[in-house]
Amino acid sequence: MPEGPYETLAGLAENPALPTDLVDRLLAHPGSRRTLAGRQDLTEPQVARLLAHVPTSVALEQRLPAAVRRRLTDHPDVWVRISLAHNADLADGTTPENRDLFERLAADPAPEVRKELAESARTPADLRARLAHDPAPDVRAALAQWWTDAPEPVRRTLLTDPEGSVRAAACARYFRRLPHPVPPADLVPALLADPLTRAGAAPHCDPDTTDLESLAADPDPDVRRALATHPDLPAAIRARLAADPRALVRLAVLARPDTPAADRAALHDSITGPFEPPGEDVDEETAIELEIDHFGVGIELRMLHLPWVTAYPLPHLDSPHPAFRRAAAASPDLPAEARARLLADPDNEVALAAARSSPDPIDPVTAERLDREHRPVKRMRWRPADAHPLPVETLRRLADDPTPRMRQLALRDPELPAALLERLAADPDDRVRRIAASHPAHTPATLRALLADPSPAVQRAAAANPALPVEEMRAVLDAAGL
């Protein structure tokens, strides 16, 4: 089927206003079944039909009767059972039906199913503790990464696991959830002696009984970087790490509260300045790692967490380093004058942090500027206007903005005048038309035109619009031969 009709049918499958008899017709279209499985208004016969065709999607999306879920625990497709384990319908593991379900899934022969339970906070604690002795190392490693507040006996079991991948997951620099666990003090020496757990243990070592010089010279940069976060690091070790060849190690020193201001300025310059290729005495692999490290530090700098700055923000309002001003701006206790300065900061991330922590609404002019200047590190749907809505008069003015992403905001006005709505529905930018196609105030004629838009994404949005007349929905299905 051509891409356009496929997207249109997918939009109908998402449309909350699609009548039950049209759902029945759409069930005959194989490409729409996975989308239909996400609907919460399906009848039992419709769910049964979908189970015959897309059981994985049904197990993942639907709130199924206990008897059906129990039957699915024996389904031959492992992805059905994984989806069942992931389903939010299992939220309460204390009811008899759900307890039985968890028991069956915890005994599943496929480690992928048991791994799903190991990762889930919904799994009853006693079953989760049992997974610490699971025969599959991947299951135990997942448990170590995700169950960060596990009872100490469970953490000890994982930290001393005979499989290296499990120990590495249990004593790591990063975990999947907060709070990050602290290894028991009596295990730290053994964890430091193990190359797989050394980086995770370094921030928790006893400086008086540990060979810090050896850790500072460790060939693994992750170990050196982790050591640089130790709260009680001697000044000499800190200075050594400040001269480390790896930019991410130097970044960790920059973020320390005890790093002298002059050293911090030099460190900031060293990690934000142009990359200087290493000398010929450095092998090619290391040279590549150094370059990757230098360019990756920019993202790390934007995400830098400085709680000590947020706790005492005033000394950092005029910091030359945006990361420090951003951390200061995150404080909810800023004086009004200080917050106003940070809201006007030339760095959009600093201004956004000040807006986020503000106990008062942000004025429309500032809110518009925050959104206009926002440039996320990667593609994301969130934008500042989501948190700081603009008034109707601003939204309507933006309908004529030269920038397409700002014209999109005009469509957030549910009572946008018809003339502006029609204009945006015919906008030269397909992203604007796609958002326009979702507006609730369209006439049937406009929605019909949007269903024929050259962009499949616009067609899908129009088909998913609850304002689409039922006769238009029928016409789409008739044209598709359904």
Question: 351 and 290 in one domain?
Answer: no
192 has pLDDT over 60: yes
273-301 residue pLDDT tens: 888 777 777 778 888 888 888 888 888 88
- CA torsion 96-100-103-109 (nearest 10°) is -170
Question: 322 and 241 in one domain?
Answer: no
User: What is residue 92's predicted lDDT score, i.e. its pLDDT?
Assistant: 65
- Categorize the per-residue pLDDT at 114 as very low, low, confident or very high, splitting at 50, 70 and 90: very high
Give the mean pLDDT of 95-118. 92
Beta carbons of 254 and 262 less than 8 angstroms apart? no
77 has pLDDT over 80: yes
Could you give the CA distance from residue 472 to residue 214 in angstroms, rounded to a whole number? 73
306-353 residue pLDDT tens: 999 999 999 999 999 999 999 999 999 999 999 999 999 999 999 999
Burial of 90 from C-beta contacts in 10 A (0-12 / 13-18 / 19+): buried
28-38 residue pLDDT tens: 999 999 999 99
Domain boundary among 323, 355, 379: 379
Question: 279 and 338 in one domain?
Answer: no
Give the mean pLDDT of 252-268. 95
- Categorize the per-residue pLDDT at 303 as very low, low, confident or very high, splitting at 50, 70 and 90: confident
Residue 198 falls inside a structural domain: no
99 has pLDDT over 90: no
Residue 87 falls inside a structural domain: no
Domain boundary among 304, 324, 345: 304
Residue 434 falls inside a structural domain: yes
User: What is residue 458's predicted lDDT score, i.e. its pLDDT?
Assistant: 97
- Categorize the per-residue pLDDT at 12 as very low, low, confident or very high, splitting at 50, 70 and 90: very high
Question: 429 and 481 in one domain?
Answer: yes
Question: 235 and 315 in one domain?
Answer: no
Question: What DSSP string describes 444-470?
Answer: HHHHHHHHT-S-HHHHHHHHT-TTS-H
Question: 336 and 404 in one domain?
Answer: no
**What is the average pLDDT value for the chain, to the nearest integer?**
93
Residue 418 falls inside a structural domain: yes
Which residue, among 170, 239, 162, 235, has the nearest Cα to 199 in the 3D structure? 170
Give the mean pLDDT of 48-69. 90
User: What is residue 57's predicted lDDT score, i.e. its pLDDT?
Assistant: 93
Give the mean pLDDT of 75-90. 87
User: What is residue 416's predicted lDDT score, i.e. its pLDDT?
Assistant: 96
Residue 145 falls inside a structural domain: no
Residue 267 to residues 173, 211, 309: CA-CA distances in angstroms?
22, 25, 17
Give the mean pLDDT of 188-216. 97
Residue 435 falls inside a structural domain: yes
The answer to pTM > 0.85 is yes
Question: 479 and 400 in one domain?
Answer: yes
1 has pLDDT over 50: no
Q: How many domains does the chain divide into?
A: 3
Beta carbons of 366 and 355 less than 8 angstroms apart? yes
User: What is residue 411's predicted lDDT score, i.e. its pLDDT?
Assistant: 97
Give the mean pLDDT of 301-305. 89
Domain boundary among 304, 333, 358: 304
- Categorize the per-residue pLDDT at 43 as very low, low, confident or very high, splitting at 50, 70 and 90: very high
Residue 151 falls inside a structural domain: no
230-242 residue pLDDT tens: 999 999 999 999 9
Question: 317 and 237 in one domain?
Answer: no
**Containing structural domain, residue 254:** 217-304
Question: 347 and 321 in one domain?
Answer: yes
User: What is residue 235's predicted lDDT score, i.e. its pLDDT?
Assistant: 96
- Categorize the per-residue pLDDT at 96 as very low, low, confident or very high, splitting at 50, 70 and 90: confident
Query: Which stretch of 155-164, 170-179, 399-408 has the lowest confidence by average pLDDT?
Result: 170-179
2 has pLDDT over 60: no
Residue 121 falls inside a structural domain: no
